[in-house]
Structure 1
């Protein structure tokens, strides 16, 4: 890999967005990473549409999604105009891009992006496992609280029985030898 191609992982991961319940990267961000023009990337994708068979590989943003991405992510510089809606590439679609662009630089960048997607997936998995553990502990504590309430209720009942029993002994007549 060339030294001029070293891009920090945090820059690449900052270009991953969550759209339509999928982690995606937008065409102009990918073009920037691959060091090609966006129109060239789009042209290559359109020539090889069979490699992108469905929305699990690539989809074009709707005008609403595009406007949201502009305002929330600041995806366009002021005054920049786009003729066509941006394409959003999923992890599967990005893996196909290296074969469409077919350059050694594109392959190297693709490898980095794939590794970052794997890291993001692992982080999400770890977070889910931690949430499940916290929920398990919360349930155990809740059950312990209920168990403690039962124990205290039983102790209260037992102590009231003992108190009732001791008052009965005081009021009872003694039987047997009286001194």
Structure 2
């Protein structure tokens, strides 16, 4: 059963992001609220598609992990109030008596493929944009984030040296801007999952007629990305014969997003994406692993395309 939908702004959603075991996560009952579901119904939707949610996508919190969230969220003066609010939500939503499930960034992204409909799309867009805004707060910037919090706390306590503190904050954000990705080449660092997928989908969106993907390790998550292509764009995938894709997977994809063909090759080590026969990208990671580890991409000379296709 769905509740009445409330479109929350990014600031409200940011307050629902927690760090557990070094991962940024959101909890099931708060995601259910965002999508307008009762918690039980929300988790049932996930269970109906449980094959999409590996342990690094979704896991159940321990009592210690949940208590750590209560201790760390917000300032010490608000800790008791925050603890009561979260505990109340977890106990009163459908009478649950178990610890919440936590969804990592990958899990949230996969969740967007499970919940269908216009309202789900609208809420998913807010989450995507919000995570884009939050990239400065990813784990690889934890030390910078801690320093910013220290600066803010000092400002609250002393209300002095404001100009100097503002300058320091500007300098810190300037440092974080080194993670901005240029259009023709760039590097994504470990944990920048949404940024990596957003960049890949921007490549897909360029295609008017044809997409050729050369990647030895293609799975269903890659097809999820390719489903964002424009209507009428044909897709050809060259991948290893041991790929996890089945004939049924291809048939289901083509039933909704025609037309895709899969060819097998063992000749290629690197990953390439060719768009409309004139744009060539070299991608340093298999597309199913974008953002899991540091990788780079670059735009290559289109004159290389014929040689690549001849040797695939």
TM-score w.r.t. structure 1 length?
0.61
1:77 aligned to 2:78?
no
**1:132–1:106 distance in 2 versus 1, CA, 3 Å:** closer
Any idea what SS the aligned residue of 2:172 has?
Answer: helix
**8 Å Cα contact 2:25/2:103 also seen in 1:** yes
Any idea what SS the aligned residue of 2:46 has?
Answer: helix
Deviation at 1:86, TM superposition (A): 0.6
* Pairing 1:100-119 to 2, within 5 Å after superposition: 100-119=114-133
Q: Distance in 2 between matches of 1:121 and 1:49?
A: 27
Q: Distance in 1 between matches of 2:111 and 2:70?
A: 24
Q: Deviations over 1:59-87 (max 9, x none)?
A: 11012112333455432228635322211
User: Which moves more between the two structures, 84-93 or 21-30?
Assistant: 84-93
| Structure 1 stretches of at least 4 aligned residues deviating more than 4 Å after TM superposition | 70-73, 123-129
Q: Distance in 2 between matches of 1:123 and 1:71?
A: 19
Match of 1:87 in 2: 101
Q: Distance in 1 between matches of 2:97 and 2:137?
A: 36
Q: Deviations over 1:66-113 (max 9, x none)?
A: 233345543222863532221111111111112222222112111111
1:13 aligned to 2:14?
yes
Bigger fraction of residues in strand: 2
Bigger fraction of residues in helix: 1
Match of 2:207 in 1: none
Q: Distance in 2 between matches of 1:85 and 1:121?
A: 28
**1:45–1:5 distance in 2 versus 1, CA, 3 Å:** same
TM-score w.r.t. structure 2 length?
0.37
Match of 2:58 in 1: 58
Unaligned runs of 5+ in 2: 74-82, 146-170, 176-312
Match of 1:167 in 2: none
Match of 2:172 in 1: 130
1:26 aligned to 2:27?
yes
User: Which moves more between the two structures, 19-28 or 64-73?
Assistant: 64-73
**1:34–1:132 distance in 2 versus 1, CA, 3 Å:** closer
Unaligned runs of 5+ in 1: 134-179
Any idea what SS the aligned residue of 2:37 has?
Answer: coil
**1:131–1:121 distance in 2 versus 1, CA, 3 Å:** closer
Match of 1:68 in 2: 68
